């Protein structure tokens, strides 16, 4: 069973202001380059078929909101970087939507920046993390496709990502695999901890 099985699709929007009618709940955002495997991770966390997986990067073209057991929203943002078949104007629009959503959202509790664990830290991911740091937005880094990396190399990959993304704690780097499920329980637990923090006060 996936770690977050009681998750359902709720809403799609082209712009952040189109989400205004949603009842306020804590939010966790998924951010990442267009070929990093956001849809595969979402399906592995919440159940197969929840998000469409395509072989063509950049198919997530909207702000997609999912309700997780009525406790919080998991928000899948459009991918950034190379997107086959997407014009420059549309790519520029997505590049504006992401900071608009992240930067003007009092309900946002955590941004998760997905990075391909097989690759050295990418400048686009590091730039987003630097911007999140400047904005004071809590974030973590999710290293996708970790099953393709030899286990002995994981420690260095985690430290490299933590350094490149200016994370004080390497514990906020989560190696995960949508294929074999590694790290999904830990990632889900971290999300739940953040969104329920202070709820009992």
For 14-26, write each residue's pLDDT tens digit. 899 999 999 999 9
Please check whether residue 1 lies inside any domain of the structure.
no
Residue 64 tokens read as 């997609």
Handedness of CA 192, 136, 112, 7 (dihedral sign): positive
Q: Collect contacts of 88-96 with beta carbons under 8 A, ≥24 apart.
A: 90/61, 94/61
Please check whether residue 145 lies inside any domain of the structure.
yes
Round the CA-based radius of gyration of the chain to a whole number and report it: 16
Domain count, the chain: 1
Please check whether residue 101 lies inside any domain of the structure.
yes
C-alpha span between 76 and 30 (Å, rounded):
5
Please check whether residue 48 lies inside any domain of the structure.
yes
Strands 63-68 and 72-76: antiparallel
Question: How far from 101 is each of 78, 130, 158, CA to CA, in Å?
Answer: 11, 16, 27
Residue 121 tokens read as 């830290």
What residue spans of 47-168 are helical by DSSP H? Answer: 88-103, 123-135, 154-164
Give the CA angle between residues 106, 188, 170 to the nearest 5°: 85
Please check whether residue 168 lies inside any domain of the structure.
yes
For 49-64, write each residue's pLDDT tens digit. 776 654 444 445 789 9
Please check whether residue 2 lies inside any domain of the structure.
no
Strands 108-116 and 139-144: parallel
For 73-123, write each residue's pLDDT tens digit. 999 998 886 444 444 544 444 467 888 999 989 999 999 999 999 999 999
Please check whether residue 31 lies inside any domain of the structure.
yes
For 111-163, write each residue's pLDDT tens digit. 999 999 999 999 999 999 999 999 999 999 999 999 999 999 999 999 999 99
**CATH code for the domain in which residue 109 is found:** 3.40.50.300
| Structural domain boundaries, residue 122 | 7-196
Please check whether residue 22 lies inside any domain of the structure.
yes
Strands 139-144 and 63-68: unpaired
C-alpha span between 57 and 55 (Å, rounded):
6
């Amino acid at each position: 069973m996936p770690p977050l099985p009681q998750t359902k699709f709720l809403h799609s929007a082209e712009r952040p202001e189109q989400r205004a009618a949603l009842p306020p709940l804590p939010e966790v955002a998924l951010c990442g380059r267009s070929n990093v495997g956001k849809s595969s991770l979402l399906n592995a966390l919440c159940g197969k078929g929840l998000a469409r997986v395509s072989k063509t990067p950049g198919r997530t073209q909207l702000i997609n909101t999912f309700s997780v057991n009525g406790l919080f929203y998991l928000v899948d943002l459009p991918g950034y970087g190379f997107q086959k078949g997407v014009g420059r104007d549309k790519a520029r629009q997505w590049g504006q939507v992401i900071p608009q959503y992240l930067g003007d959202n009092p309900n946002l509790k955590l941004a998760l920046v997905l990075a391909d664990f097989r690759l050295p830290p990418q400048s686009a991911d590091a730039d987003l993390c630097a911007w999140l740091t400047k904005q004071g937005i809590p974030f973590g880094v999710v290293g996708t496709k970790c099953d393709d990396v030899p286990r002995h190399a994981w420690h260095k990959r985690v430290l490299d990502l933590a350094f490149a993304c200016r994370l004080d704690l390497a514990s906020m780097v989560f190696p995960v695999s949508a294929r074999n499920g590694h790290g999904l329980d830990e990632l889900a637990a971290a999300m739940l901890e953040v969104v329920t923090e202070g709820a009992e006060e």
